[in-house]
Amino acid sequence: MGPDGRDYINIDIKKPYYKQIGDGDKDVDFQSKIIFEEVGEDTNLTMEQIFSNKKELKRVNEKYGAIEGGKQHVYKFGKYLEALKWV
């Protein structure tokens, strides 16, 4: 779910580490790319939000908080994984 409360459609999933999301909504048209890389016993997470240009990034960030939303998603995911360690 995005920071605007809407669910976004997953358009491409490749195992084991690649998932591309975005539904091409004309008002919010960007893609998020999240990559998980195994590093020894750890995992690196890289998240990219891909916009058509800098002006669009600025507009979507000001209107919807895209950058902060991405940070919140990564933080919440980390908390979720921490909770799984104790299950």
Placement of tokens 């979720």 in the chain: 80
pLDDT in tens, 36-46: 888 888 888 88
Q: What is the mean pLDDT of residues 47-58?
A: 88
Q: What is the pTM of this model?
A: 0.56
pLDDT single digits (tens) 53-80: 999 889 988 988 888 888 898 899 889 8
What is the amino acid identity at position 11?
Answer: I
The one-letter amino acid code at 6 reads R
Backbone angles phi, psi at 5, to 5 degrees: 85, 0
pLDDT at residue 25, rounded to an integer:
56
Q: Domain spans of the chain?
A: 10-82
Sign of CA dihedral 51, 27, 24, 80: positive
